Structure 1
């Protein structure tokens, strides 16, 4: 039996300390189980062991009816995860799963496979979780076997100091604490959407609002640190439809721009990359190969690509490719919360921050 995971090497934890305890919060994007033997196998249980300093803190498992239902749901609902844009967006690559080989039960014939998609973990303990041990028990020819797969769970610390990409008082949403928003996508796990309320604390404050009616529309976007422009797109002209069939022709013609609108990717020191999406058409002040300084204007907040209202989509990554790069947490050195206290990493979804 062959086991593989996304990510394959380590998972980034976003622990929060509260009242002497630590809340560990992390996500396994994909678990693949393939029968690469010549015998039929029957999966008996899938167990996740959560460790800190080699101490087993908690076990979470699928077995019995829960296992049967989970694998049946996976086979029926995840057929789109094999190839194409969706596979790359959610798993960072194509070919991790082979839907044509999915088994709909716990029984896997030779060359069949099953798996789990987006398994979330939130654990309260004295210290942060630092290891995930996947244990799979199965039978073949009336013999019981077990197989393990281990992943490091690590807290990520930025290698550079970053400023917030917008100035003023900004509402943030869709961050990692919003389980079914950006987080379920591979590179967007720690992405943030940024918009702005009016003086009455409203985002939409009148009927039939035009793009320019939104407070954030046209606002300057700043480079979060010194770097080099390694990718950008400036001429996408529309807000994409949320209906996949309507969006497909634009995806085929314009690629990533149909998803993210006009965008900029900056390479910073120590192989960290920032991404800025949904910019106004032709508002970019930079081009590929340009060097930028921290705080330099690179474009203006818009409403292009897959966008429900004018806003800035921002994320940090470990590479330049929006689809295949691992998403990274990003802390900022110049933001305060609504009480005026300095904060770095935005832990909660739907909070307001102020950047000088």
Structure 2
């Protein structure tokens, strides 16, 4: 796919402060692969900007390594997810159980097994995506919001949604190392076979030189402290 294609602009789909550790603003493919439509995909987490290493959880790093972390200790788990565009819900798959706590070794194994060995002819895409929503945002433009919290999806297939409408919550389902929101645009509603489409956000703020600065039609990097509040921008 040509990198010269102009990004498709959508509204930022979260509220508050966020970090994107995997973003096309840092590298393409952002996730190291073109599979599952992830070429231009984003991951979003919330972190403690005052603690060394910007941890995404409220316990020590040693506990994370040795014991894992309960989902409730992750800052972003359960945060509301909003529709990035006006559109139609094409798929809304819930009911995939989340693991109750993270574990580095077992999560690495699951990632290899679920994504590396995935066979689209026989395997359920929820083993990779977990609970997810796919919105049709335009002609051959589909937004996927992935790894949602079990039981949080508030829309159904065929439903019309408006930009900014709450549709689910951030979770840890499927092929997930830790609670986060995976977001991507695709040219098909089939995650298993889709190609990724470049995407930028119509507006958000980034913290630079001690103050918040507005960004228009931007692609955050993996170092940017970003925030969005639809009421204040």
TM-score, reference length from structure 1: 0.52
Larger radius of gyration: 1
Aligned residues: 204
SS of the residue corresponding to residue 155 of structure 1 reads: coil
Return the offset for 1:204. Answer: 3.1
Distance between the aligned counterparts of 2:34 and 2:118, measured in 1? 22
2:90 aligned with 1:230: yes
Structure 1 runs (4+) deviating above 4 angstroms are 245-254
Equivalent residue, structure 1, for 2:44? 194
After superposition, the Cα gap between the structure-2 partners of 1:254 and 1:300, relative to the gap in structure 1 and judged at 3 Å, is: farther
1:307 counterpart (169, 172, 176):
176
Contact kept, 8 Å, 2:98 with 2:149, in 1: the verdict is no
Instruction: Report which of the two has the higher share of strand.
Output: 1
Aligned-residue CA RMSD (Å): 2.6
Contact kept, 8 Å, 1:247 with 1:258, in 2: the verdict is no
Q: How does 1:1-356 map to 2 (within 5 A)?
A: 11-13=1-3, 154-158=4-8, 161-176=9-24, 177-178=26-27, 181-186=30-35, 187-198=37-48, 200=50, 201-206=54-59, 207=63, 208-239=68-99, 241-244=110-113, 255-339=124-208, 340-343=212-215, 344-346=217-219, 348-356=221-229
Equivalent residue, structure 2, for 1:147? none
TM-score, reference length from structure 2: 0.78
Distance between the aligned counterparts of 2:115 and 2:194, measured in 1? 27
Return the offset for 1:341. Answer: 2.4
Return the offset for 1:216. Answer: 0.4
Contact kept, 8 Å, 2:29 with 2:39, in 1: the verdict is no
Tell me, which stretches of 5 or more residues in structure 2 are unaligned?
A: 100-106
SS of the residue corresponding to residue 145 of structure 2 reads: strand
Contact kept, 8 Å, 1:221 with 1:297, in 2: the verdict is yes
Instruction: Say which structure, 1 or 2, has more relative contact order (CA 8 Å, 6+ apart).
Output: 2
Tell me, which stretches of 5 or more residues in structure 1 are unaligned?
A: 1-10, 14-153
